[in-house]
């Protein structure tokens, strides 16, 4: 994947050159309250490491997180995609997304998620994709449920309580 187009957005693989855009997210306390293990914003060093890991994931696997911009204005809105993650000691493919707080509530996380799920199920022929968040993150849980994920159980991830959701390919195709 070099580019993903949705109704409103263009996504390209996340690379170290996206530092200024990702810093917008990583420096926003509202965004990071649900993304970082300690709820704190990321340092510049942490953002560089995040982007380095994202670029390495693309090189190793041919898929990963994308940086998304509005098609018309080119304005950065967030990132999202599917990537490998270890969940309860098992390698899984995780749906991940983060949207600028000034763009919350207008369906961008869902739009990015559906594009990522289509890639995972239609192109990569995955059998299932997982998603997880902190239990109190109602907005993220709503995105997952809107995309067809079902709650499975409470888990501990990165030392914190999370809720685990799963979407099976057969359920995604039934909804599509």
Q: What is the pLDDT of residues 127-166, one digit of tens each?
A: 999 999 999 999 999 999 999 999 999 999 988 899 999 9
Residue 160 neighbours by CB under 8 Å, 6+ apart: 37, 134
In three-state secondary structure terms, 124 is coil
Dihedral sign from CA coordinates of 96, 50, 100, 133: positive
Q: Are 22 and 51 in contact (CB under 8 A)?
A: yes
| 67 sits in which H/E element | strand 65-70
Best CA proximity match to 166, nearest among 58, 94, 96: 94
Separation between Cα atoms, residue 76 and residue 95, nearest integer Å: 19
Q: Give, to the nearest 10 degrees, the angle between helix 108-118 and helix 138-146.
A: 40
Give the three-state DSSP class for 58: helix
Q: Does the domain formed by 4-175 have CATH 2.60.40.10?
A: no
What is the predicted pLDDT for the residue at 14? 94
Q: For 115-138, what is the mean pLDDT?
A: 96
What string of DSSP letters covers 1-56? Answer: ---EE-SSEEEEE--GGGHHHHHHHHT-HHHHHHHSTTSPPPPHHHHHHHHHHHHH
Does residue 28 contact residue 16 with C-beta atoms inside 8 Å? no
Q: What is the DSSP letter of 71?
A: T
Q: Residue 17 has what pLDDT?
A: 93
Considering the entire predicted model, what is its pTM? 0.94
Residue 2: pLDDT band (50, 70, 90) is confident
Give me the half-sphere count of Cα atoms (radius 13 Å) on the Cβ side of residue 65.
25
What average pLDDT does the segment 66-92 reach?
Answer: 97
Question: What is the side-by-side strand order in the sheet with 90-99?
Answer: 4-5, 9-13, 65-70, 76-87, 90-99, 128-133, 160-168, 150-157
Going by pLDDT thresholds of 50, 70 and 90, the confidence category of residue 22 is very high
């Amino acid at each position: 994947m070099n580019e993903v187009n949705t109704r409103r957005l263009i996504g390209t693989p996340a690379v170290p050159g996206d530092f200024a855009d990702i810093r917008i997210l990583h420096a926003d306390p509202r965004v990071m309250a649900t993304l970082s293990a300690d709820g704190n914003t990321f340092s510049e060093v942490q953002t560089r490491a995040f982007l380095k890991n994202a670029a390495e994931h693309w090189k190793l696997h041919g898929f990963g997180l994308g940086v998304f911009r509005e098609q018309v204005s080119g304005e950065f809105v967030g990132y999202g995609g599917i990537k490998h993650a270890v969940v309860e000691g098992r390698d899984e493919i995780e749906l991940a997304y983060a949207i600028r707080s000034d763009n919350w509530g207008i369906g961008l996380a869902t739009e990015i998620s559906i594009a990522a799920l289509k890639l995972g199920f239609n192109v990569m022929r995955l059998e299932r994709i997982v998603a997880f968040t902190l239990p109190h993150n109602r907005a993220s849980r709503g995105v997952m449920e809107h995309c067809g994920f079902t709650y499975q159980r409470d888990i501990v991830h990165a030392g914190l309580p999370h809720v685990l959701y799963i979407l099976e390919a057969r359920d995604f195709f039934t909804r599509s």
